[in-house]
Structure formats: structure tokens, C-alpha cells
Structure 1
């Protein structure tokens, strides 16, 4: 519940926010029905629970500026229609909200129970051992006034921020009627009147909460500001690294050509120049080395797979023909016609062998192009 003081209105303005921005305007008379409808929409009509919040925003003149989170009551034993791990689900929701050090833990206790046995106090002590963030609110004080003064002054359970005893509205009482009845109770009751006036009443509770909230905000604000600035710097850095907005077709074409240019430069470096400066430890991107490996494997594989007419070594016949056609002339000037005829015959015999190499190189280059393109 988010309370916001609004000097422009004396009657409360209420709206319910839930389910990722859905807003429902309601009234004080219909707010319970609106909350039940939102709960059924989020958690179903059974007795299950959900950690999705329902926010009630209340604007009114004189309302204290406070944000209160009403957490679910602790259920130890699941009833029909509830999951077996209902306790763990509720405990996880409670701990999620009470763990942050900026949070004030408001422990609502009934005067009719023994405080040290309260499960809520045990859970709050797990995250706030010193009690410096914990304030206790004692209800139903008229049901068990005996010994209440000792309970709230002795503080056996280490409630660091102290206690406030209150009387809730009964039946159809208005807020103002309830406050008058509350004041009369703590003024005239023989036992409750002994409790210090700084520890009784809803108005005192509201004032205490605002003071505690202001103190905690003042204490936590420097860290919050630092975290915001750090996050802002990181976000600004990320924003600077992002490409400019593409608004029209011309911008899109320019952005596309810029990407293509960067991709071509990268591919030229890794496939032609052998420059791997951008990928020093990513060996897959060392294109010239990987293609050289393929060629080396192919060179070893080619002689073994060439078809032969006899057991002679590869090109042995050609070399013999060349030797037979030698004549008196300048060295290294061999008869081109003889070599061309024989070599053409052999090339035709092995023309299908390089297909595996071509496929291997093509698949590698194709994959490399896609990876570089996606990086840019």
C-alpha cells in the first residue's frame, strides 16, 4: 500500500495496480472486492499463493507518505487446495522483502500470545539480529491488558525500535470514530492507561514510521546514490557502444554497408593477410592457418587416391617421356607439347579427387563468414 499525501483532495483516491501495469480505480467501499478480484486473477480462486504484488495507491490530504507491504501470514500446515510446500513459499516471499537493509520490519503481534513464541519474530531476527530495523505493533490490547505493560517495556525478544500498542477499527466504525475510541481506551483503562503515551495509538505509529523511514533513508542514501551512479555509468557505457537508431531506409542502408565493410575487412585480415590481431586466442578464426592445414592433409591424401594404370609412381611415365624428348638446347626449356598432353591426361583421371577439399574449405569459409558477420 502506497500512501501519498495529496492536499488537493479530502476524500481518498484509490487505485489498484497489478499484472504488469494494469490499473483499476476503486473506492473505499469497494476496495476489498477489487483486491479479491485481483487476487483471484493472479493466484486463482483456490487457496494457493503468488509472489506477484498487488499495489494499492491511496492519495488523500493529511495521509503520511509511507509505503507498506502487507506480507502473507505464516502457514505451517497446508489446508485443502494448498501446495505441500506452502510454508516454504510464504517464508521465501517474506524473506525477500525483509532482507534488504533499507526495509523497516513491522512485526504485528497479538497481545493475547506469548511474544517469544511468535514465528514472525524468529524470522525477522534471522535478517535483523540487532533489531535496529524492527518495530513491533501490538493489537487486541483490550483482549489481554494484564501484563502488557511488562511485555512492551521488558523487551525480551529484542525489538530494537520498540513497541506501539493500537486498537483497530471494530465493525463499521469510521477511521475517526476508531481513533476516538482508541484514545479513550488508552486514557481510561486502568491497565492500558499506564503505558506511556509515546507507545500507543495509530497516529503515534504513523509518526514513528515516518521518522524511522527518514532516518533509514538518510543512512542508506549515500550507498543508494553510489549504486545509482555506478549503474548509470555502466548503462551510459553500454549505450555508447550501441549503434545509432535506424529511422528510415537510408539509415538502414548506411548501417548495412558499414557492417559489410567491417566484415570484409575482418575476412581479408583472417583469410588473406593472416592478421589475427582481433582473435589472438580463437584459433578457429586463424583462416590462413586452417586452410593451409586442409591443403596439407589433401597433399598427403592425393597421391594415395589417384587412379593408376600400373604400379608406377605418380607422374613417373610423364617424367620418362620428358627425358626421352630432351635435346640439345638451353637447360630447363622442356618440350611443352609432350608435357601438356600427358599432364592433361592425368588431370582428367584425378579431376574428381579435389571435390572433398573444395567442400571442406567452402564449409569452413561459409561458417567463418557467418560468425564474423554476426559479431559485427
Structure 2
């Protein structure tokens, strides 16, 4: 590989490794390689070949029982390789037999000693002059049947498949699909899974292991030449150490030389391109593909870092500065927070622009009206059905009901003239029925204002949950007090309409003659005339009343509940605070929020440092 290209690759891989060192992988998915395959496909031996070291556990059945996040760091100097586990960062391993023992210990500590498989990863970093710069995750092999006398559940196949899927479904992950040459690749679940997760084949490399133990007269040339199941990135054939080699403790470096000799001298692979044979070819392929993959993903990664940094800054602004120690400063802090709350509440209800809430996504543009616009929408719906031209309040009365009203209240008046008491008898119940809809609208607006108030309070007082409940109760009492005043005024208004009948409406006064029923025939039923006249008078007066109430009740609610609440809230809360020493004594940040504040500050610094790179 040309030195210039190699240097560029190292720079790209080093950049991603630097991001990992900064902890970016905790927030943003970074390019990596995941090794998937059936149980005993040769994944562990393949990883040892890539690393050039003998360090992975061996045994019968399932050996890899927790994912191993393996970060390989190539060092230029010919130093002795060393390894460090994330779970024991203070210990540096130079004896890789001890590394194998530590992997076994960490596996048993979480998964137990009875072959259970868990998704919690072991994280290991190896520095060596013989390994490439790669980050590889070795996943437990896809297991079809649970081992006898083990802790493996009956659905072990589903568990191992889902684990592979969870690690490999990210588009920034390169899938290294390991399959033994001794088995038909069309039956490999690992290859099927890879094709499901990567249907375009842009990030899947096939690796054919155990080529040296294929039967007489057979070879893997068709698979390697991509003639059976096509993969865009193709296949690489490798020869791992055999079980006898492992028993004889053949060093990995010697096994790699034997692999080169094998492919160079076996006539079955004499015509196969050398760049798809052997561990060295695989390492170069992985490095090249990873380099190209990083170049493709890097613009999006930078964009996500910028977004994450901005989010952290916004959250830090929301949490505010450190809690003051001096009592006077605490008082000032609370008053400032109350000012933020009342300003936010008022701005929301008035529909004013708030720069702190000005980030609107396409989804948020589709949401319903808020604040004062929402309240006006509720007002518009008040008595809306009664205001329809086709609505007649007396439709609920039969003619005989109106006749009965006249008979009951005729008294000593001259027959044939509608009694005023009859009019009251018919109109008053209908006016009384208007109280409940007005109270419903009042309750809706009260609940909506309380909801908005509580949302803003939770946001402003996020740091101080111990104080939040008390201040929330104070603010709710202000709204409740104004609700009670608004309700009394609304009821009084409707009571006045019931108990004092009067109108100056020109239409009503000028159309009195039209209210009398006209009949062209010579025979006229006096009762029908009376019924029609009463019916028309009640309908027309009711329409006037509805028109008036649809204007006046929103004004009363808007003034006594909405405006008076906004005008009084800050003053009342300030007064309550001055009387309550308890609030200032409770003004302590919870440990969780202190931790969040610290974490966000650290995260923000990391992201800003990464943005400068």
C-alpha cells in the first residue's frame, strides 16, 4: 500500500479514535467493524490473526458470551504490546495469557459460569506494532440450540440474532460476515442477516475461514470470486490456526507465515487474485473500506457534533449558573426565576415572540393554537350552536306547552293578549341553561392556563424541584382565585338576563307587528295566534340575548381570569416569597441535577473541542 494513502488512512482512523477518546461515542455513533457469524465459524481465530496476538478464550461450545469491543492501536516503535480493559483501567496487561484470563473473569462476572450469553460488552484496547488501526466488535456466534445443563434460554437463536442485528443495523457499522468454507454459504444465517441489514451491500465484507480443511476435490474459489452469493465488497479467504496448532501453542505470527505459504503453494488457489487471499489482504481491505467509510460519514458526524454541542449549551443555559451560597443572593435568584416565569407565562398567553422558544420544526408548525389564540378559539365556540340562524330555542316546546304557559299565567288580563309572565315562564329556563356552558368554558380556560403555568414553572425551576411544588401551589391559587371571581361575574351576568328582561334592540322593537301570526282565511284560531306570537317573541329575544352573551362573557372571563391573573401573578408571588422563609431554606439543587450540570459542562467542552479539530 502506498505510503501517502496509508498516511491519509491513519489520519482518518486517528481522528475517529480521538473522538472516541473524547467520549463522543457515548452520544454519536462512530464508524466501526462488527464481526458476525455462526457459532464456531472461526471468528476468534480470525481476530487473533488480525491482531497478531494470541489472547482470546478457547474451549468447547460457545466461548464468546459477551460482545468484545476491541480497539486496535498501531504503534510505530517495536515495543512490547500491551492491553487495558475499560472495566479495570488502572491495570496494564503485557502478558496476553492474563488478558485471556481477564476476559473469562469479566464474562463470568456478568454472564455466569454456565454458558449464558449477554449483550453487555467488554471493552479492550490493544497497542501493538503488529496490529492495524481498527475498532472491531466480536459478537457472540449465532447459536441455534441451547447447550445442555447451561443457563442459555430456549430462544437462544432469537437472542443471538437480535444482538447481532442491534450492533450491525447502524449504517456506520461495517459488517464482517465470517463463514466456514466447509458449509454452503447459502445456508448461513449470518449472511442472510447481513443482506437484510445491508441490502445494497455497501458495508458487508465476506470472510471464508477453514479453507484448508475442505474435502478432497473441493475448493472455495467460486465463493471467493463472488460467483455464488454476490457481495459488492466481495470475499476474502483466510487460513486460521487449527485446533492442533492452538494445542501446540503455535505463535500467531508463525501461523500467518504458514497461511501465506499455503495460499502461495496450493494449486487450487493459484489462479485466484492474491488481494482476496490471506489475513494480510483482509487487513488491507478492512483498513481501506473503513477509511472510505469514515470519509463518507465524516460530514454527518461533524454536523451531529455541532448539533450536540448546541444542545448542551442550550441545556446549560436552562440550568443556569451555580447556586449562590449567600442568603441575599438566593433571594435575588428566586426573584429572577419568578420574573422569568411570569414573563414566560405572560408572553405565552399574549402570543409574543420569545427568542428562547423560537426553534420551530416542521412538525411543530402543524400543532394547534396556543396561548391567547387558543383561548379565543374557546370563546368562539361558546354558544356557537345557539347563534345559528336555523336555531330556534322554542323548538323544544310543543304548541300545547305554550298554550299551557298562557293558561297558567293569564290571571285577570284580557284573553287574547300574551302575558309577560308566560314569556318569563318560557324564556327563563332557557337562559338558566346557559350557565353550565359558560362554566365549562371557564373551566377549560382555567385548566389550560394552569397547564401552561405548570409547564413554564417546571422549565424555569428544573434545578430546584424541592421548591417547585410550593411555588406551583402558590401560582395555582392565584389562578383559582381569579377563576372564582370570573365565575361569579359570569353567573351574575346571566342572572341579570334572567331577572331583568329588557332590550333596546332596534330589530326587536321595529318588528313587533310581524310577530303576530297572519292568516288569510276568514277563520282564525285565537290560540294559534297567541302561540305563534309567544313563540316568535321568545325566539327573537333569545337570539338577542345569545348575541350579547357571546360578547360579554368572553370579556368578563378574559378580564377577570386571564388579564387579572397575568397582572397579579408576579406581585402575589413576590409577596408570598417574602412571607415564606421556607422556600429559601429549601433552595438546594438535587445531586442528580448537579451531576447533569457537570456532565453537560464536560460534554459541551468535548463537543466544542471536537468542533475545533
Do both proteins adopt the same fold according to a TM-score greater than 0.5, normalized to the shorter chain?
A: yes
What residue in structure 2 maps to residue 242 of structure 1? 319
Matched, 1:73 2:141: yes
2:298 to 207, 221, 229: 221
1-structure distance, mates of 2:208, 2:219: 13
Alignment of 1:199-214 (within 5 A): 199-214=276-291
SS of aligned partner of 1:3: strand
Comparing 215-224 with 228-237, greater Cα deviation is found at 228-237
Task: Say what the alpha-carbon RMSD is for the aligned residues.
Answer: 3.3
Comparing 159-168 with 260-269, greater Cα deviation is found at 260-269
Contact 1:5 1:65 in 2 (8 A): yes
Alignment of 1:84-99 (within 5 A): 84-99=154-169
Comparing 28-37 with 187-196, greater Cα deviation is found at 187-196
Matched, 1:157 2:229: yes
Alignment of 1:93-112 (within 5 A): 93-112=163-182
Matched, 1:25 2:92: yes
Q: How many residues align?
A: 298
1-structure distance, mates of 2:146, 2:79: 43
SS of aligned partner of 1:167: coil
What residue in structure 2 maps to residue 63 of structure 1? 131
Deviation readout 1:128-186 (Å, 9 max, x if unpaired): 11212111111111111723112211432222211111111332111221121111101
Relative distance call for 1:34 and 1:276 in structure 2 (3 A) is: same
What residue in structure 1 maps to residue 307 of structure 2? 230
Alignment of 1:147-186 (within 5 A): 147-169=219-241, 170-171=245-246, 172-186=249-263
Contact 1:47 1:82 in 2 (8 A): yes
Matched, 1:283 2:449: yes
Structure-1-length-normalised TM-score: 0.70
Contact 2:142 2:160 in 1 (8 A): yes
Deviation readout 1:225-271 (Å, 9 max, x if unpaired): 1122122222222222321123x623x6514432145438968999x
SS of aligned partner of 1:15: strand
More helix by share: 2
Contact 1:17 1:24 in 2 (8 A): no
Shift of 1:7: 2.6
Alignment gaps of 5+ in structure 2:
1-69, 352-370, 373-444, 451-475, 493-571, 578-582, 587-613
Comparing 88-97 with 110-119, greater Cα deviation is found at 88-97
Deviation readout 1:58-98 (Å, 9 max, x if unpaired): 10124211011101111122233212232222122111111
What residue in structure 1 maps to residue 504 of structure 2? none
Of structures 1 and 2, the one scoring higher in RCO (CA 8 A, sep 6+) is 2
Matched, 1:3 2:3: no
Structure-2-length-normalised TM-score: 0.44
2-structure distance, mates of 1:104, 1:269: 48
SS of aligned partner of 1:203: helix
Relative distance call for 1:253 and 1:191 in structure 2 (3 A) is: farther
Relative distance call for 1:253 and 1:64 in structure 2 (3 A) is: farther
What residue in structure 2 maps to residue 254 of structure 1? 329
1-structure distance, mates of 2:482, 2:213: 87
Contact 2:179 2:185 in 1 (8 A): yes
Relative distance call for 1:179 and 1:241 in structure 2 (3 A) is: same
2:116 to 48, 54, 59: 48
Relative distance call for 1:2 and 1:276 in structure 2 (3 A) is: closer
SS of aligned partner of 1:194: coil
Relative distance call for 1:276 and 1:208 in structure 2 (3 A) is: closer
What residue in structure 2 maps to residue 16 of structure 1? 85
Relative distance call for 1:142 and 1:90 in structure 2 (3 A) is: same
SS of aligned partner of 2:270: helix
Alignment gaps of 5+ in structure 1:
300-364
Relative distance call for 1:23 and 1:98 in structure 2 (3 A) is: farther
